Structure 1
Amino acid sequence: MVLYTHKKDLKNALDSFRGDEKIGFVPTMGALHKGHLSLVEKALDENDVVVVSIFVNPTQFNNAEDLKKYPRTLNEDCELLKSLNKNILVYAPEISDIYEDKVAAKNYDYGGLENEMEGKHRKGHFNGVGTILNSLFRIIEPDFAYLGEKDFQQLQIVKQLVEIEKLPVTIIGCPIVREENGLAMSSRNKRLSPQLFEEASIIYKILTEVRRHFKEKTLEELNQMVTERFLSTPNLNLEYFEIADEKTLKSASSKSEDAKYRAFVAVFAGDVRLIDNMPLN
């Protein structure tokens, strides 16, 4: 495993792989867990060389306190990656290496995808996501990039970003990896107390219940059921629950046999914000 902190050095190292060899890329903000490692393992299986970025991107945080508290564990992350494969290239730049003299996000029009769910509650978030990934894609020039479905809205938006910027990279979505209690793996889980970690397992249970009843209950009944479940769990505060079309991400007003639906949820466990989702049909 080789650690690079400057894009110039990374690009020079990758030049020797250009041509017939495939380059895989896994973008992360660090504090790596088994979910991240599953992405890296898939990338290793399907490519000749794999780059993992570790960068806490300031322009995608609309909450300064959340940015400050986001876990930073570079040394531990590098040891984890080294245990997978010693030939992984890690790019962990300083802010100035990415943004140079202006830390600002570019404005993107993702065709409305950015206005749903997370976009409603985290203004400017997806502009920051698009800005950093556009930069990383251009620095690394990967053939394939691997993102988890836990951030399903982000996954759809990154696919749109690639079309907007005409980037020659294929985006691969990978299944959610869960803790033993069902909680979706997230770097933010490290901030949960043992009690909240266990209580947050109800998020998965509620989503599973929604999927089980999706065919026979109306959308209104499902929304009411979810609201009631969270009201009975005082340490978890529901920010939003949506049943949305997977393609448009718009909240469903009725069911269509031709559409694929997914349930999306954002919950505060104490002051830790958790998101999750589940396909319904």
Structure 2
Amino acid sequence: MIIFKYAEPLARYIQQQKAADKQVGFVPTMGALHNGHIALIERSKKETSITVCSIFVNPTQFNNASDYQLYPNTIEQDIVRLEAAGCDVLFLPSIAEMYPNGTNNLEKYDLGYLETLLEGKYRPGHFQGVCQVMNRLLTMVQAHKLFMGQKDYQQCMVVSRLLQLMQSPTGLITCPTLREPDGLAMSSRNLRLSPEDRQKATTIYKCLTLIKQECNQGVFWPVIKEKAEKLLTDAGFRIDYVELADANTLQPATATMATIYQGPRVALIAAFLHDVRLIDNMLV
């Protein structure tokens, strides 16, 4: 595996691979890699000739300075895992490489309603930060295919919008969420959970499963929502949202009866266990 810290030599390498008619796959991460990330690397390896992974903890997408400071850093283990997975290239830029003019007064992106609901509502400015870093990464890597996980459902929709705004030829491949044996969605933030909270965290998966079952039985949505919220609060969670949305637009899909809404739906949850915020979703 080749490690690049600067965009210029990375771009030269990518151009050489493209000149040799090789397809380039890209997996952007913030490190603290888990099996979900490795599954994205493996998917890229199946579909492309060269797989590039980036590790960069992007300061502009954090609403909370302490969340940024506490974000897990496991770079040595990450490198070992990427090499074992057969990743071809690791891009490991500094903040100065990504934001040579600093992080103030950065560009803004027209994301429409996507940044007014769910994650956009509870983390104002977050998706602007995602777009700021992804625009730079996509421009630097120039991949044919971009691989991202469904756990960050709304983020995938935002990046899809960004690709349109950039008029980028890169194709977005959204891959299924990987879960622990007890259902907890794999996440770098799980490393911050105490053993006790790690057990409680499975409640989110239990709630999503409940929502899916009861929606498909035609139960009244407010009843389902109240049950799910009680499960979470009883387990010690502080809830940001428990919602049912149109799987294609993220607009609320909560008609009077869940069964009246005919389109594909997704249940989404965001909640805190102490100071660790967890998100998950499930197609219904």
TM norm structure 1: 0.96
Runs ≥4 residues deviating over 4 A: none
Paired with 1:88 and 1:197, the residues of 2 have a C-alpha distance of: 33
Cα deviation, 1:10-55, whole Å, max 9, x if unaligned, reads 1121121114210000000000000000000000111110100000
> Which residue does the alignment assign to 2:93?
93
SS of 2:198's equivalent? helix
> Which residue does the alignment assign to 2:27?
26
| Contact preservation (8 Å) 1:106, 1:128 | no
SS of 2:43's equivalent? helix
Q: Tell me whether 245-254 or 153-162 shows the greater mean CA deviation.
A: 245-254
> Which residue does the alignment assign to 1:80?
81
> Which residue does the alignment assign to 1:205?
206
SS of 1:112's equivalent? helix
SS of 1:251's equivalent? coil
Spell out the pairing of 1:1-281 with structure 2 (5 A cutoff).
1-19=1-19, 20-85=21-86, 88-104=88-104, 105-215=106-216, 216-233=218-235, 235-254=236-255, 255=258, 256-280=260-284
Cα deviation, 1:248-273, whole Å, max 9, x if unaligned, reads 21222314454111110011112110
Counterpart amino acid of residue 271 in structure 2:
V
Paired with 2:201 and 2:241, the residues of 1 have a C-alpha distance of: 15
Paired with 2:153 and 2:244, the residues of 1 have a C-alpha distance of: 13
| Contact preservation (8 Å) 2:253, 2:261 | no
Counterpart amino acid of residue 230 in structure 2:
E
Q: Using the TM superposition, give the Cα deviation of residue 130 of structure 1 relative to its aligned residue in structure 2, in angstroms.
A: 0.6
Q: Using the TM superposition, give the Cα deviation of residue 162 of structure 1 relative to its aligned residue in structure 2, in angstroms.
A: 0.4
Equivalent residues, number: 278
Cα deviation, 1:204-255, whole Å, max 9, x if unaligned, reads 011101100103211111111112212322x222221111111221222314
SS of 1:161's equivalent? helix
SS of 1:38's equivalent? helix
SS of 2:17's equivalent? coil
Percentage of pairs with the same residue: 38
SS of 1:11's equivalent? helix
TM norm structure 2: 0.95
Q: Using the TM superposition, give the Cα deviation of residue 113 of structure 1 relative to its aligned residue in structure 2, in angstroms.
A: 1.3
- Structure 2 unaligned runs (5+)? none
Q: Tell me whether 94-103 or 168-177 shows the greater mean CA deviation.
A: 94-103
Paired with 1:232 and 1:91, the residues of 2 have a C-alpha distance of: 43
Paired with 1:278 and 1:191, the residues of 2 have a C-alpha distance of: 23
Give the RMSD, CA atoms, in angstroms: 1.2
Cα deviation, 1:85-109, whole Å, max 9, x if unaligned, reads 1x51000100010110221442111
Counterpart amino acid of residue 51 in structure 1:
V
| Contact preservation (8 Å) 1:5, 1:93 | yes
Cα deviation, 1:166-206, whole Å, max 9, x if unaligned, reads 01100000000011111100000000011110111111011
Paired with 1:117 and 1:155, the residues of 2 have a C-alpha distance of: 13
Paired with 1:227 and 1:57, the residues of 2 have a C-alpha distance of: 31
SS of 2:3's equivalent? strand
